[in-house]
Amino acid sequence: MIKAFLGISVAAILQSGAVRSPEISTDRHVTFRIQAPNAQAVTVSGEFMRGSKPLERDARGVWSVTLGPVEPEIYNYTFTVDGVKMIDPNNPNVKTGSTPSTIASVLEVRGDQPAFYDNQPVPHGEVHTHLYESKSLKMNRRLTVYTPAGYAQNAQTRYPVLYLFHGANADENAWIQLGHANLILDNLLAAGNAKPFIVVMPFGYGILPGAPGQDPAAGFAPSDLLFSRDLLEDVIPFIDAQYRVLKDRDHRAIAGLSMGGGQSLKIGLNHLELFSYVGGFSAALTGVALPETFGSFMTDAQASNRKLHVLWFGVGSDDPFLGVNQAFANFLETGKIQYVFRKSDGAHTWMVWRRYLNEFAPLLFQ
Amino acid sequence: MIKAFLGISVAAILQSGAVRSPEISTDRHVTFRIQAPNAQAVTVSGEFMRGSKPLERDARGVWSVTLGPVEPEIYNYTFTVDGVKMIDPNNPNVKTGSTPSTIASVLEVRGDQPAFYDNQPVPHGEVHTHLYESKSLKMNRRLTVYTPAGYAQNAQTRYPVLYLFHGANADENAWIQLGHANLILDNLLAAGNAKPFIVVMPFGYGILPGAPGQDPAAGFAPSDLLFSRDLLEDVIPFIDAQYRVLKDRDHRAIAGLSMGGGQSLKIGLNHLELFSYVGGFSAALTGVALPETFGSFMTDAQASNRKLHVLWFGVGSDDPFLGVNQAFANFLETGKIQYVFRKSDGAHTWMVWRRYLNEFAPLLFQ
């Protein structure tokens, strides 16, 4: 996904090799191609459509199909060649993460106007990558941090912080590479639609599922517990020491998507001494026992409402987590907790999460 | 390649899904697997061997082969399934870049002791990603910068700078993701074997070959000219303004690999008013007219030798650029220019370039 940052669409201009894929026409039809002379069947599937479409073979053994017009967006897609799922070998724009299930090719379709997540000619923040020592997990871990435009120049200014978590199978770069969080915040800040703040993006697994010594049936819970310890005992102290941040609860927000949304809601709502803005994007609340998980925060709703400047969570109408998010809203309702529940179009995809960040960020630190 | 930074080998511990690949045994045999029930033939090829090896199919349609023992290193590899080259779909560690030809899976084989390029328990520097405005190229471009451990704390200290270039098909992240430049320098610095300095890694294409308006037959030359302008007119001023750097020639080095080695030698040796340390790693000097390209620097060898604190270039015995580097050495010899020509084992791979950085860095700013 790094290509999006070069200010030129590499996929669009690249013509090396005999086969060009994806090729985007001026009217936003997209042609996918792959050279596979010995294949019996090739299909493409992606976030721009439901199901899959067959490609057709030409005399040279190049398979192709043209789809569209496709709405301007950033989409994942894969080919399936004789039953083997694979990325588009002619597209350098590859989505990667922490597990193989996340690997896909990326199609960026541009509109006539730049999108809210595009690299626009505005002042840009900076993305920092650290290796920090996690004493709680006994390892060096990588941490991604965004500082807004002006951070280096305004050397006396302290900034609020958003802790922002990725989903399952992704990693600490996902909110930059796939979420364009830096570009979204650059654009909001330039338009005067958000306050300047720092974003901290840790690696969301305490330990990956299936790691040695971990019960494969135990799911994410042990990982979440370790992640929470690392966040509270290592990441936040590291940020407080390394960056010019405001260290009080009024200037700390916490949010995440999917697995990270479950984490941000659980950690945030149980640590209102640390956070006053809490967000969940398509939060993976499946299997979460609501009274046990959020009981202590609910016992004094008036006090919690006073402390919580914003509790915002959203989910798409085609997202499998719609039901658990609705149940969470109902649970908060019965407990008289104030919240914003944003039901939007869309499924469990980065298209939705980019938009949610664009909606959530303007609410912070106002 | 980001997995290498998490402090845990994800590929090694990940067991999700039915098929595990690559699996590394304690005696460093590596088993590659792919599920392809309909395939007629599957092979693997990679930097750990010459040629390719066939995989064998089991009753479930899973193909596999065990190779080794494999020396501790970081290797690229790909599968070929019925003639279609593809990455290992079960390995999240994917090498990406600016063109599709660079895409490959990555195998990290660890030894009993950590390697010079491994994430070790030493103080770590920081990696910064900027979007800067290139006035010369009229676009926003991404730039990667490494600051050594202690940079933030030693707020009065100014640092020397190494400008470090990637090769063809790669991008501004390559020296971090594939080269482990940050980890190599972290380790050298912790051991007292190098001075602390900043490393600046720009995107090495002025424009990609085959871009609209560029003659495909023109090769890299127009790109190199634009890259050189961007470096001199935009990148260096940006760094001088954003970082606490020493801005004189005695504290500037320039080096690169392959295409970037050609660039660093050409730019560095023709701008001794800016640089005093020049390096070329497997430099792509093919087609470079030596007298025309390096003539002005050669006219007063005594003066150039006084200015050049180090001119270091290396190439592997199996590298197709061995001949042009030998010719460059001969050319310098006749011109009475002082240089170090390092002929090593190895081919045109990151294995060689990581070692070259590890040898070159200790020579800088002494």
Give tens-digit pLDDT for B188-200.
999 999 999 999 9
The alpha carbon of residue A297 is apart from the nearest alpha carbon of chain B, in Å, by 33
Same domain, A179 and A278: yes
Provide the pairing of β-strand A73-81 with A104-109: antiparallel
Same domain, A225 and A271: yes
ipTM computed for the complex:
0.90
Mean pLDDT of chain A: 92
Give tens-digit pLDDT for A56-103.
999 999 999 999 999 999 999 999 999 999 999 999 999 999 889 899
CB pairs under 8 A between A and B: 200
Q: How many CB atoms are located within 10 Å of the residue A8 CB?
A: 21
DSSP secondary-structure letter at A233? Answer: I
Same domain, B210 and B259: yes
CA-based R_g, chain A, Å: 22
Residue A255 lies in a domain: yes
Mean pLDDT of A35-46: 96
Q: Are B277 and B365 in contact (CB under 8 A)?
A: yes
Residue B9 lies in a domain: yes
Mean pLDDT of B81-87: 95
Q: Is B21 helix (H, G, I), strand (E, B) or coil?
A: coil
Lowest mean pLDDT among B59-68, B93-102, B278-287: B93-102
Q: Which residues of B56-85 are buried (b: 16+ CB within 10 A; e: fewer)?
A: ebeeeebbbeebeebeebbbbbbbbbbbbb
Last residue of a domain, one of B57, B80, B109: B109
Q: According to the model, what pLDDT value does residue A15 have?
A: 39
Residue A6 has pLDDT above 60, yes or no: no
From A81, A87, A98, residue closest to B92, measured CB to CB: A98
Same domain, A181 and A314: yes
DSSP secondary-structure letter at A122? Answer: S
Mean pLDDT of B127-132: 96
The alpha carbon of residue B315 is apart from the nearest alpha carbon of chain A, in Å, by 27
Q: What CATH number is associated with residue A207?
A: 3.40.50.1820
The alpha carbon of residue B44 is apart from the nearest alpha carbon of chain A, in Å, by 15
Testing the interface with B: which of A57, A140, A171, A227 to mutate, by most B Cβ within 10 A?
A140
Residue B144 lies in a domain: yes
Same domain, B157 and B265: yes
Same domain, B313 and B350: yes
Residue A20 lies in a domain: yes
Q: According to the model, what pLDDT value does residue A41 have?
A: 96
Residue B121 lies in a domain: no
Same domain, A68 and A104: yes
User: Confidence band (pLDDT; 50, 70, 90) for B210?
Assistant: low
User: Which residues in chain B touch residue A126, judged by CB atoms under 8 angstroms apart?
Assistant: 128-130
Lowest mean pLDDT among A2-16, B29-43, B288-302: A2-16
Asked whether the beta carbons of residue A94 and residue B84 sit closer than 8 angstroms, the reply is no
Asked whether the beta carbons of residue B84 and residue A36 sit closer than 8 angstroms, the reply is yes
Residue B261 lies in a domain: yes
Distance, in Å, from the CA atom of A273 to the CA atom of A256, rounded to the nearest integer, reads 19
> What ranges make up the beta strands (E) of A228-320?
252-257, 277-281, 310-316
Testing the interface with A: which of B8, B95, B98, B131 to mutate, by most A Cβ within 10 A?
B131
Q: What CATH number is associated with residue B105?
A: 2.60.40.10
Last residue of a domain, one of B48, B75, B109: B109
Domain residues for the domain of A42 are 2-109
Distance, in Å, from the CA atom of B107 to the CA atom of B91, rounded to the nearest integer, reads 9
Residue B120 lies in a domain: no
Same domain, A211 and A359: yes
Last residue of a domain, one of A84, A109, A134: A109
User: Confidence band (pLDDT; 50, 70, 90) for B224?
Assistant: confident
Distance, in Å, from the CA atom of B7 to the CA atom of A288, rounded to the nearest integer, reads 30
Same domain, A245 and A305: yes
Distance, in Å, from the CA atom of A339 to the CA atom of A325, rounded to the nearest integer, reads 12
From B6, B16, B94, residue closest to A142, measured CB to CB: B6
Which residue on chain A is closest to B207 by alpha carbon? A8
List residues bridging with B253 in a β-sheet: B162, B277
User: Which residues in chain B touch residue A152, judged by CB atoms under 8 angstroms apart?
Assistant: 242
From A38, A98, A100, residue closest to B89, measured CB to CB: A100
Mean pLDDT of B77-86: 96
Which residue on chain A is closest to B204 by alpha carbon? A6
DSSP secondary-structure letter at B245? Answer: B
Same domain, B68 and B169: no
Residue A269 has pLDDT above 60, yes or no: yes
Same domain, A82 and A38: yes
Residue A117 lies in a domain: no
User: Confidence band (pLDDT; 50, 70, 90) for B259?
Assistant: very high
Number of domains forming the structure of chain B: 2
Same domain, A95 and A132: no
Testing the interface with A: which of B1, B3, B8, B119 to mutate, by most A Cβ within 10 A?
B8
Testing the interface with A: which of B1, B6, B57 to mutate, by most A Cβ within 10 A?
B6
Give tens-digit pLDDT for A310-350.
999 999 999 999 999 999 999 999 999 999 999 999 999 99
Q: How many CB atoms are located within 10 Å of the residue B192 CB?
A: 8
